[in-house]
Amino acid sequence: MAEPLKGALILGQSGGPTSVINASAYGIIRAGLEADAITKVYGAHYGILGVLNDDLMIMDEEPAEEIERLPYTPASALGSCRHKIKDPAVDDSDCRKILETFRKYNVRYFVYNGGNDSMDTCNKVSKYMKSVGYDCRIMGVPKTIDNDLFGTDHCPGYGSAAKYIATSVMEVARDTMVYESGVVSVIECMGRHAGWLTAAAALANTEEPCVDLIYLPERDFDMDQFLNDVAKCYEEKGDCIVCVSEGIHYADGRFVSEAETSATDGFGHAQLGGLAAKLADIIHKKLGVKTRAIEFSLLQRCAAHIASRTDIQEAILAGRTAVQAMLAGETDKMVGFVCDRTNGYQCRTELFDLASVANFEKKMPLEWINEAGNGVFYDFVDYARPLIQGETSVDMKAGIPRFARLKRIRAR
């Protein structure tokens, strides 16, 4: 075990928020404040942009009661971004700015909390600091409702989003039963290339029949077969509930969504949406039945009121583990989970090399998807059900949640 470095810690949040991203921040902040070797804990305002622009918040000066509310507060309390830093092997201007900030505040620990692209940022910064001889330990903490990070069994944020989807599908199913006339409800969930989130709709079926058809991007989509599936279900039941991933695509790779545009985020990913409305319209025109389009959109990632307690606790654990690992000498790693479901549910942390995680998407196993490509097997339910267990302890004031309110005191 290496000796701890004496210096400050910077925490950054990146990418799309989750309902438990601040639980990881809490774990990082608390572990940093408790460590003798860490002289100051800073939060980067708007992720890596805060480091590039010397825009840091002093977490040591935040009220303790507001820090304690972080695990139950949705969205990114420090501010997020989707910014791709330049590859230092081609242009090191971004990394030189980051180094200037690190030196100014004597930063010896850097934790970046995000998804695939965030781990790539982490890896670039880590490699650059090593190349210039600046002693700084760097750790990635996973965050994504998409659940598509390589290595780790699952990602903080996924369990709560899965719980929201399963619950909402159950509620939609009950709502469709109140009228005598039938309806086809098309529910769109997030997931560009991986179907983990949409598959969570199957969890609703463990208590009572709810969702009828599930389509994931791991299998090519066929419109004619889709219409046949819906028609058969509607004929047999008198109604039909369909869940689709926003990223379902045809065999030639084209997204089915009509809302795919030239607009992209900072990492070049196409912006998707409008799929449920498109499919509902096609079903109505081709089959002549009443349809309803539902897009969960941001609700699935910010529904802290129904967050999984397991997810919250594991998010805190991931943050704490990152700091403890850096103090012990680890760097250029991502904290992940290794789980055992053979006799109950057991979860432990493990460190994965950032180079093996960055820019690699973990998709749903094809053997968990039925041959018709319109449903998932119980293997998935066995995998996901432990992740949605337990309820949140969000503080309620006057009947609504009281979330953390940080002062965001800037470093100078």
Based on its alpha-carbon atoms, the radius of gyration of the chain, rounded to whole angstroms, reads 22
* Contact between 123 and 149 (Cβ < 8 Å): no
Residue with tokens 């505040």, as numbered in its chain: 105
Hey, which residues are catalytic here?
146
Full 3-state SS string of the chain: CCCCCCEEEEEEECCCCCCCHHHHHHHHHHHHHHCCCEEEEEEECCCHHHHHCCCEEEHHHCCHHHHHHHHHCCCCCCCCCCCCCCCCCCCCHHHHHHHHHHHHCCEEEEEEEECHHHHHHHHHHHHHHHHHCCCCEEEEEECCCCCCECCCCCCCCHHHHHHHHHHHHHHHHHHHCCCCCCCEEEEEECCCCCCHHHHHHHHHHHCCCCCCEEECCCCCCCHHHHHHHHHHHHHHHCCEEEEEECCCECCCCCECCCCCCCCECCCCCECCCCHHHHHHHHHHHHHCCCEEEEECCCHHHHCHHHCCHHHHHHHHHHHHHHHHHHHCCCCCEEEEEEEECCCCCEEEEEEEEHHHHCCCECCCCHHHECCCCCCECHHHHHHHHHHHCCCCCCCEECCEECCCCCCCCECC
CA distances from 239 to 200, 228, 230, 284, 373 (A): 21, 14, 9, 13, 20
Q: Structure tokens of 106?
A: 């004597």
Please tell me the distance from the alpha carbon of residue 258 to that of residue 245, in angstroms, as a whole number.
Answer: 14
